[in-house]
Amino acid sequence: MHPKKEVIAVVAHMDDEILGMLSLLPRIDKVIYVTDSATQWAGPIGPVEHYAALRKRGAEAAAKMFDFTPVFMDWPNDYLTQLPAEPKAGLCAQLTKLLENASAVVTHSPFDEHIEHTFVSSYAQFIAAQLDVPVIMALMNTEWAESLVATSISMTVALSEGRKKEVMQQCYETEMRLLDHVKYTPNMLSECFIGRLDVISSMLLP
């Protein structure tokens, strides 16, 4: 008997599932977090290892809240895009194994300007193509706070920006900080319509 097919999200960081896929989470069976989500900026939060542990507890809280299975690959966040060829091949093989039973893959949009997001998106798309699995890409802003296009991105189905902040406060309180790497610019406002991508995507999930 074949195992049940699953809708699987592949994200770079622990909190990306809330920031970019909140309206889809009730339809997602498993979330794969590629990196350890630790970063050298942690500063007052403490050592990088402590920060990574806090993020993991947040992901576990989110998994309990939305009833999905969390999978932690724990690749180094700050050095993900600098990995030599052999470790990258290992990451690809590991992720391929994790996606073998996917009915659909949800991941970052390739238009996301966050470098780890686009890296993870490219791997997820490549592997899904090899497995002949459909891919749904979610455009997200990379912070909890409002940006020029945050409302367009966050107003999905019945879940609003306020709901996203509420969930972030419960699961990832350490990430409730001022914007520090949002790269949206006014000329992107003309592209706000693609912020509704996850609404359309939710209709495509099996």
Task: Delimit the domains of the chain by residue range.
Answer: 6-204
How would you class 35 by CB atoms within 10 Å of its CB: exposed for 0-12, middle for 13-18, buried for 19 or more?
Answer: buried
Mean pLDDT on 109-138: 89
Average pLDDT for the chain: 75
Q: Report angle CA 104, 30, 40 to the nearest 5 degrees.
A: 110
pLDDT confidence band for 174 (50 / 70 / 90): confident
Cα 39 to Cα 46: distance, rounded to the nearest angstrom: 11
- pTM confidence score: 0.78
pLDDT tens string 187-198:
333 333 333 334
pLDDT tens track for 72-116: 999 988 888 888 888 899 999 999 999 999 999 999 988 777 788
Instruction: Give yes or no for residue 59 having a pLDDT over 80.
Output: yes
Residue count of the chain, please give it: 206
What is the CATH architecture assignment of 6-204? 3-Layer(aba) Sandwich (3.40)
Tokens 């979610």 locate to 138
Banded model confidence at residue 175, pLDDT cuts 50, 70, 90: confident
Distance CA 99, CA 112 (A): 22
* C-alpha span between 188 and 158 (Å, rounded): 25
